[in-house]
Amino acid sequence: MTIRPVRLAINGASGRMGCALLSLLGEDNRFELVYAVVAPGSVHDGQPIVVGDALPLRYAHDWTQAPALDVVIDFSGPAGLTTALDHCLAHDAALVSGTTGVDAALEERLAAAGKNIAVLRAANFSLGVAVLTRLLREAAAALPDWDLEIVEAHHGRKQDAPSGTALALGQAAASARHSTLESAAVYNRQGRTGERVDGSIGFSVIRGGDIVGEHTAMLVGQGERLELVHRATDRSIFARGALQAAHWLAGRTPGQWQLDDLIAPPR
């Protein structure tokens, strides 16, 4: 039996993540790229795709011209994600999205979309970070009295701190301890801070050079310490993770899926 490749569209195809996806797709026969979408008015609109192996496609902006497809991978922005979501809902296609900065109204629409189509979103498409999150959840619950500190390091051009991934790790640990990030997080320590508050989660931030992204979750007990560390050395990990998610999601039942669903269940 021949299994046909997954028919894929990329939304945000000319961006940093779009280019990373296109350059991986040339050598990945699990997929057939059928549409590559950019912003309306983009300088790339109508131009041939020249990233990676030659792909017989041009960038486009008009979803009404899209051929039949199985999955859309979106790394565009909230406006782009909105149109991609409309297309997926109208044509029963699955949606993988890494777009961040989504407002409450769009969050609500995406949550409702899970009733009709398969949707998988992640703020970080690294499979290593997905496993780190699972391990941290388990460790935080198993060692409820140990102090938890999260340290993250990124390149100097990063605009926000702590990183979205560090916050998501804190959130996962807090809920594993039946707490919330809002009540547990400590972001600043300077001057006379007083003693550490039991149950708090401290965040420390390092910025410099070309660090792609590092996250350490430190669980500190009396006389011993457990450290869970993830180091990203190449941005293509996010594109690889998104492609793995798209392959897993194609043909799946409607729902709001997460990266944790596609890594093997714990034994």
Supply the minimum distance, in Å, between the C-beta of residue 73 and ligand NAP: 10
Our answer to whether residue 155 is catalytic in this structure is no
Strands 147-154 vs 213-220: parallel, antiparallel or unpaired = antiparallel
Binding ligand NAP (rule: CB under 6 A), the pick from 9, 36, 37, 72 is: 37
Touching ligand NAP, residues 193-222 (CB under 6 A): none
Specify the residue, 11 or 216, whose C-beta has the smaller distance to ligand NAP.
Answer: 11
Touching ligand NAP, residues 120-139 (CB under 6 A): 122-125
Supply the minimum distance, in Å, between the C-beta of residue 217 and ligand NAP: 19
Specify the residue, 42 or 244, whose C-beta has the smaller distance to ligand NAP.
Answer: 42
Supply the minimum distance, in Å, between the C-beta of residue 124 and ligand NAP: 5
Binding ligand NAP (rule: CB under 6 A), the pick from 9, 21, 38, 120 is: 38
* Stretch in the footprint of ligand NAP (CB under 6 A) among 71-79, 142-150, 151-159, 187-195: 71-79
Considering 44, 87, 154, 215, which one is annotated as catalytic?
Answer: 154
* Stretch in the footprint of ligand NAP (CB under 6 A) among 33-41, 211-219, 223-231, 246-254: 33-41
Specify the residue, 11 or 133, whose C-beta has the smaller distance to ligand NAP.
Answer: 11
**17 binding ligand NAP? (CB under 6 A):** yes
Strands 213-220 vs 118-121: parallel, antiparallel or unpaired = unpaired
* Stretch in the footprint of ligand NAP (CB under 6 A) among 116-124, 140-148, 206-214, 252-260: 116-124
Read off the tokens for 260: 């944790």
* C-alpha dist (Å) from residue 245 to 32, 69, 90, 98, 156: 15, 16, 21, 11, 30
Specify the residue, 62 or 108, whose C-beta has the smaller distance to ligand NAP.
Answer: 62
Please tell me the count of residues contacting ligand NAP according to CB under 6 A: 28
* C-alpha dist (Å) from residue 97 to 3, 41, 43, 73, 264: 25, 22, 23, 6, 21
SS3 sequence of the chain? CCCCCEEEEEECCCCHHHHHHHHHHCCCCCEEEEEEECCCCCCCCCCECCCCCCCCCECECCHHHCCCCCEEEECCCHHHHHHHHHHHHHHCCEEEECCCCCCHHHHHHHHHHCCCCEEEECCCCCHHHHHHHHHHHHHHHHCCCCEEEEEEEECCCCCCCCCHHHHHHHHHHHHHCCCCHHHHEECCCCCCCCCCCCCCEEEEEEECCCCCEEEEEEEECCCCEEEEEEEECCCHHHHHHHHHHHHHHCCCCCEEECHHHHCCCCC
Our answer to whether residue 154 is catalytic in this structure is yes
Binding ligand NAP (rule: CB under 6 A), the pick from 6, 8, 9, 15 is: 15
* Stretch in the footprint of ligand NAP (CB under 6 A) among 23-31, 72-80, 176-184, 243-251: 72-80
Q: Which residues are catalytic?
A: 154, 158
Q: Which residues bind ligand NAP (CB under 6 A)?
A: 11-18, 37-39, 42, 44, 75-77, 79-80, 83, 98-101, 122-125, 238
